[in-house]
Structure 1
């Protein structure tokens, strides 16, 4: 939810970043000819002015009046430019700390020599170079938005009924239909899912970005998903339309929603949710809204539980789900799988109140669509927001798997964290 206060704070941070970069550029071009120096500084401020104007346009013009393609590309440019500059400025900030320490040390001497403590050209070059590498990575990452990767895991459970040993689950999450413009690439992703020969397909929420209509162009493609035991889905935070400016909500109600962290659905918003769920049912997906199904095979049973969005992040995301309602009636089932969009729910409720939930499947984080993943090592800014943000986690006998997302939102790309199709083999 956009607020004027947050926009002003972000804009102020942008101005600080631009000031830092400008001071660095002045040092680096001072040995060039006056003409070349002016050209470089002018180009810097032209790009800066464009980015700041674009930011103000995105924040303060009605979102419904912003063409989707233009909005996406403007966001991409702003995101890439200022994320790159932010990391570059870190080096400049380190240099300022160095200069401050030197200043304090010299001021303790009798009447300092009066010489200025100059910026380090090395750190200036390091900052701008690092920012350039970051910007280049983000540009290259634009090619990875449909670069689907298969993540396969074999999970062992002592209490899994014998009839279900070898069960192959394919999990997908965070499709974000409004961002997916290349239908041919999406179709290849769906084909890749079906090539895994899943016994059951589980979708853990965020089918759209803002409104249900985004799914219409892709409905026939995702209708191709099928599995012997069915395709099941739950709601993610984006699926409720909380980030859309509904005309039938008063300013007072919008303010109350933001302050309480709980959205009261307007008639139009509820209609949007109903339409989104109806479309999923029309293509054969079975919605689990705070409910469960019992899966049977050779006389043995496991429970599949699905909750609406439940968050452990306070007001940042809304909670709609009711875990107690979904759980009711499955206590005596020997093995339980939970679909819950937000992985923070595992920490705040599942582990403490439901120790017999064997496997929880979540999404939501996208791994921030940016990071590093190497064998035995993974790092992303997402880890500073979520304790569990990508892959498999274990605590005691319980497991959590966080899918990195099939689609994308905001930045239309992936750097290091690829779009994911999860294959889980139970044994």
Structure 2
């Protein structure tokens, strides 16, 4: 209860500051009433859905949009708060000086009037995230981007020179609310005509039933050398309440079966050779291995037990912290690792080839795109779907296409 009281006090303080900026341009009383009406409705809706909320009871679309609408008003108001507070750094000392210099009996307001320029500038800055977040909820979450990379390896088998793979990750089917957009994305994946499609975990939020409506969409995925997948932390059902351990176990077994029916070959701490013209590369898949409290079912040694150290290896591991903590130090030398998990936090700023930033970088060293360490590469996919916040702002849903080339990189 106390935390809700604290949150409401924070919101009130923030809104009082934000409203000071808003009323400088909104002279009409009806607009001012509308400001407070929207604020009360959004905060009330959030409290209604989250008071007493337990993540294990399920996270519905209503929960997602209650959180999303809160973010829509919260971030712009934080900017307004900073703008107004920055002005008060000068106004308060001036007011104190005027009070004491004029004497206790002086009449009038000791605070200088707020400058319209400051308020309007703060409103202009706040309008940028406001528009971006609204766009992110309305269209950004389905704004699929195909990102293409070419990676060179001296020891790549000749037969695989020019081999193309498509990686998708973090489908989170329980979050979707537009079937047509998913059909479009599946068509976009197939248009890449890659040799193999690799999915790196989190196909659901919690339960197999979330994927059932999309079975006949994802089973349209096609690749000459097949479809392969691994499990992510959400696929185990660890974040849901179950009536029994047996029910939880059955959910996971049902998920494995459903992935097979879609066409995925699920790799559970095991490996598979991809063969071409008498040569082969090893595809290794581990169960989820995550740092910081996430499930650590992945067993790299077990997964690689049937392959050779000198094989060219592609590793599928959901969480990039596995690559950082275990994989790049392993003496088997995994040429390319494919991960996901971070979603790029679904929020950030990217100028392709120039600049990339998201708050998630404070949690994960490797959080989006291609990285190289000790002659080994990892691609951290930004995710196909979305979770919790029902949108994406600046970090768009990703379909990765990687072409393998034999030779020395020009980079």
Structure 2: stretches of 5+ with no match in the other structure: 104-109, 406-411
The structure-2 alpha-carbon separation of the partners of 1:269 and 1:19, relative to structure 1 and needing over 3 Å to count, comes to same
Q: CA deviation at 1:120?
A: 5.5
Cα deviation, 1:122-145, whole Å, max 9, x if unaligned, reads 444333332232112111222132
Aligned equivalent of 2:14:
20
Alignment partner of 2:393 out of 403, 410, 415:
415
Provide the C-alpha distance between the structure 1 equivalents of 2:289 and 2:80, rounded to a whole number of angstroms. 37
Alignment partner of 2:36 out of 41, 45, 61:
45
Cα deviation, 1:38-93, whole Å, max 9, x if unaligned, reads x5554333333322222222222567988944333323212222233234333334
Cα deviation, 1:347-374, whole Å, max 9, x if unaligned, reads 1211223560111111112222222222
Cα deviation, 1:173-222, whole Å, max 9, x if unaligned, reads 11111122322221121111111111111001111112110100111111
1:235 aligns with 2:231: yes
Aligned equivalent of 1:258:
none
Q: CA deviation at 1:407?
A: 1.5
Alignment partner of 1:341 out of 318, 322, 339:
318
The structure-2 alpha-carbon separation of the partners of 1:280 and 1:20, relative to structure 1 and needing over 3 Å to count, comes to same
1:372 aligns with 2:372: no
1:133 aligns with 2:128: yes
Provide the C-alpha distance between the structure 2 equivalents of 1:13 and 1:55, rounded to a whole number of angstroms. 12
Secondary structure class of the residue paired with 1:311: coil
The structure-2 alpha-carbon separation of the partners of 1:354 and 1:342, relative to structure 1 and needing over 3 Å to count, comes to farther
Correspondence 1:188-199 to 2 at 5 A: 188-199=184-195
Cα deviation, 1:110-163, whole Å, max 9, x if unaligned, reads x66675476655444333332232112111222132222211111101111112
Correspondence 1:53-132 to 2 at 5 A: 53-59=44-50, 60-61=52-53, 68-97=60-89, 102=93, 115-116=110-111, 121-132=116-127
The structure-2 alpha-carbon separation of the partners of 1:331 and 1:121, relative to structure 1 and needing over 3 Å to count, comes to farther
Provide the C-alpha distance between the structure 1 equivalents of 2:210 and 2:25, rounded to a whole number of angstroms. 53
Provide the C-alpha distance between the structure 2 equivalents of 1:91 and 1:384, rounded to a whole number of angstroms. 25
CA contact (8 A) 2:17 2:81 kept: no
Q: CA deviation at 1:32?
A: 7.8
CA contact (8 A) 1:172 1:403 kept: yes
CA contact (8 A) 1:88 1:129 kept: no
**TM-score, normalised via structure 1 length:** 0.83
Cα deviation, 1:384-407, whole Å, max 9, x if unaligned, reads 332222111112311111111111
CA contact (8 A) 2:371 2:378 kept: yes
Provide the C-alpha distance between the structure 1 equivalents of 2:346 and 2:59, rounded to a whole number of angstroms. 23
The structure-2 alpha-carbon separation of the partners of 1:24 and 1:54, relative to structure 1 and needing over 3 Å to count, comes to closer
The structure-2 alpha-carbon separation of the partners of 1:30 and 1:421, relative to structure 1 and needing over 3 Å to count, comes to closer
CA contact (8 A) 2:21 2:122 kept: no
Secondary structure class of the residue paired with 1:156: strand
1:289 aligns with 2:268: yes
Q: CA deviation at 1:21?
A: 2.7
Correspondence 1:222-301 to 2 at 5 A: 222-248=218-244, 266-301=245-280
Q: Which moved more, 1:52-61 or 1:401-410?
A: 52-61
Aligned equivalent of 1:29:
23
Secondary structure class of the residue paired with 2:182: helix
Secondary structure class of the residue paired with 2:247: helix
CA contact (8 A) 1:339 1:361 kept: yes
Q: Which moved more, 1:84-93 or 1:417-426?
A: 84-93
Number of matched pairs: 396
Provide the C-alpha distance between the structure 2 equivalents of 1:410 and 1:153, rounded to a whole number of angstroms. 29
Secondary structure class of the residue paired with 1:145: helix
Provide the C-alpha distance between the structure 2 equivalents of 1:387 and 1:346, rounded to a whole number of angstroms. 11
Q: CA deviation at 1:306?
A: 1.0
Structure 1: stretches of 5+ with no match in the other structure: 249-265
Aligned equivalent of 1:352:
329
1:174 aligns with 2:170: yes
The structure-2 alpha-carbon separation of the partners of 1:66 and 1:204, relative to structure 1 and needing over 3 Å to count, comes to closer
